[in-house]
Amino acid sequence: MRVSGSPEYGVHIPRGISASNRLMVDGMRDRDGMAVEAKYVKNEGRDCYRTVDELRRAHHGESRRDFMFEKDREELVKYQAAVQHPGNSEMRGVETVTNYRDAVPYWRVMMAAYGIKGYSRYVP
């Protein structure tokens, strides 16, 4: 990965959220305490479903893609728990990085909805 990479880092989350009580993050940046989560679209020439418009359509029952957002929701619950966990005092928030420009607002909305400190940015 260009923005974060191997190895992934295991951070603590409370019991009951994950079988392992850990969340694997793509990277941890020491200088600002941000966990880095890379969300790269493999086929850059194709549209990605992760847009605010598609999320809105799913919310109003106008899209059959609602099931696709469930995985993101589950992951965001884990990130929120990780940021709040006392065992992760060095973790200030989450930076979501994507190579799909239209997904940046989607990740911002989703992170705000789950109360996750951080931001999303585009990296081609």
* pTM (2 d.p.): 0.82
The residue-averaged pLDDT of 90-107 equals: 92
- Tell me, which fold does domain 9-122 have in CATH? Trna Endonuclease; Chain: A, domain 1 (3.40.1350)
- For the chain, the structural domain boundaries read 9-122
In terms of Cβ atoms closer than 10 Å to its own Cβ (0-12, 13-18, 19+), residue 18 is: middle
| Per-residue confidence (pLDDT) for residue 2, from 0 to 100 | 55
Report the share of the chain in percent with pLDDT over 90. Answer: 54
| Per-residue confidence (pLDDT) for residue 56, from 0 to 100 | 78
| Per-residue confidence (pLDDT) for residue 33, from 0 to 100 | 95
| Per-residue confidence (pLDDT) for residue 71, from 0 to 100 | 86
Per residue, the 3-state secondary structure of the chain, as one string, reads CCCCCCCCEEEECCCCCCCCCEEEECEEECCCCEEEEEECCCCCCCCCCCCHHHHHHHHCCCCCCHHHHHHHHHHHHHHHHHHHCHHHCCCCEEEEEECCCCHHHHHHHHHHHCCCCEEEEECC
| Confidence bin at 108 (pLDDT 50/70/90) | very high
The residue-averaged pLDDT of 6-18 equals: 90
